[in-house]
């Protein structure tokens, strides 16, 4: 076969090769994002995502969306501007959460025997779906960053509340009041995670009394906008094909 000849001999064969190529790329992309995003999120979100007694109204709400909007923005940049596929955020978050569930179930529970009800991952999927739809409808990075980034931050806490609320029921324990989540953290001994490491309920957002979570969510949404821009540009830069000779990006 000469260099000018096609590798396929019919349209049907071309379609079949194209689909095979789709699945190969999808599998590679999915696993690469799973690994990279998982490491990134564990390093930046870390304990806030690991333990229920870290999932508070202030810092968890603030930190988790900000550090997790990164890969969705970057993968969106690649899949949308190159392929018009509005699944970058959802694909990234599904990959992350599958990786997290494997880790929590196999390692946290299967290896070190922490009950799953103390170490399940945060739910990031509602924000990711909305982020993808806004990009598809608006076809604008700016609109997605501003509206989608804000929505991503705002949806995080209510999207997790049905899972976390039962663990915020109070309990009296030996003369002290704590939540069931606090009690989990106290009961299930973590030798390397002493109580003072826990960064919860710290900060100066006292103006709104007990209604701290909405303020934190708005703040998280605003910062998520900036992080979205930044990582969207990272994604576009990585999706360039300048390194291929004679190919215009």
Partner 1 sequence: MKIIKDKVAKLSFVALLITMTAAMFYAPTASAHGEKSQAAFMRMRTIHWFDLNWSKEEVPVNDTMTISGKFLVFAGWPETVDKPEVSFLNVGIPGPVFIRAGSWIGGQLVPRSVSLELGEVYEFKVLLKARRPGDWHVHSMMNVQGGGPIIGPGKWVTITGSMSEFVNPVTTLTGQTINLETYALDNVYFWHAVWFAIAFAWLLFWIKRPMFVPRHIAVSTGKADTLISAGDKKVGMVFAVGTMVIVAASMGATNEKYPVTTPLQAGLLRGMKTYQMPESTVSVKVDDATYRVPGRAMQMTLTITNNGDSPVRLGEFNTAGVRFLDPAVHEDETSYPDDLLAEEGLTVSDNSPLAPGETRTVEVTASDAAWEVYRLADLIYDPDSRFAGLLFFWDENGTRQMVTVDAPLIPSFI
Contacts (CB under 8 A) with partner 1, residues 33-62: 53, 55-57
Distance of CA 169 to the CA centre of its chain: 27
Q: Which of 67, 130, 217, 223 binds partner 1 (CB under 8 A)?
A: 130
Candidate residues 13, 31, 46, 161; the one interacting with partner 1 per rule CB under 8 A: 161
> Strand, helix or coil at 176?
strand
Confirm or reject binding of residue 90 to partner 1 (CB under 8 A). Answer: yes
Stretch that binds partner 1, among 4-12, 36-44, 157-165, 214-222 (CB under 8 A): 157-165
**Angle made by CA atoms 132, 54, 115, in degrees to the nearest 5:** 95
Residue 137 lies near partner 1 (rule: CB under 8 A): yes
Site residues for partner 1, 163-222, by CB under 8 A, read 163, 165-184, 186-192, 194-198, 200-202, 210, 212
Residue 89 near residue 248 (C-beta atoms within 8 A): no
Told to check if 236 binds partner 1 by CB under 8 A, we report: no
Which three-class secondary structure state does DSSP give residue 127?
Answer: helix
Contacting residue, 126, 205, 214, 218, with partner 1 by CB under 8 A: 126
**8 is an interface residue for partner 1 by CB under 8 A:** no
Q: Which of 34, 61, 77, 87 binds partner 1 (CB under 8 A)?
A: 87
Pairing of strands 170-173, 176-179: antiparallel
Residue 170: DSSP 8-state: E
Structure tokens at 68: 């997790």
79's tokens? 């899949």
């Amino acid at each position: 076969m000469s260099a000018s000849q096609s590798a396929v001999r019919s349209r049907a064969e071309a379609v079949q090769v194209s689909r095979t190529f789709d699945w190969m790329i999808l599998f590679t992309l999915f696993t690469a994002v799973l690994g990279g995003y998982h490491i990134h999120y564990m390093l930046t979100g870390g304990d806030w995502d690991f333990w229920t007694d870290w999932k508070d109204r202030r810092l968890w709400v603030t930190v988790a969306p900000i550090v997790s909007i990164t890969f969705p923005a970057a993968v969106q940049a690649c899949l949308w501007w190159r392929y018009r596929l509005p699944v970058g955020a959802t694909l990234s978050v599904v990959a992350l959460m599958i990786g997290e569930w494997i880790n929590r179930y196999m390692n946290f529970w299967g290896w070190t025997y922490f009950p799953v009800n103390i170490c399940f991952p945060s739910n990031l999927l509602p924000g990711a779906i909305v982020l993808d739809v806004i990009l598809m409808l608006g076809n604008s990075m700016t609109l997605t960053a501003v509206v989608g980034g804000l929505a991503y931050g705002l949806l995080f806490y209510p999207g997790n509340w049905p899972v976390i609320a039962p663990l915020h029921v109070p309990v009296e324990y030996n003369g002290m009041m704590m939540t069931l989540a606090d009690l989990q953290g106290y009961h299930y001994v973590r030798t390397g995670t002493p109580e003072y490491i826990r960064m919860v309920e710290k900060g100066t957002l006292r103006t709104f009394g007990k209604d701290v979570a909405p303020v934190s969510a708005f703040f998280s949404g605003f910062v998520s906008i900036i992080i979205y821009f930044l990582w969207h540009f990272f994604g576009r830069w990585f999706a360039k094909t300048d390194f291929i000779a004679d190919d215009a990006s």
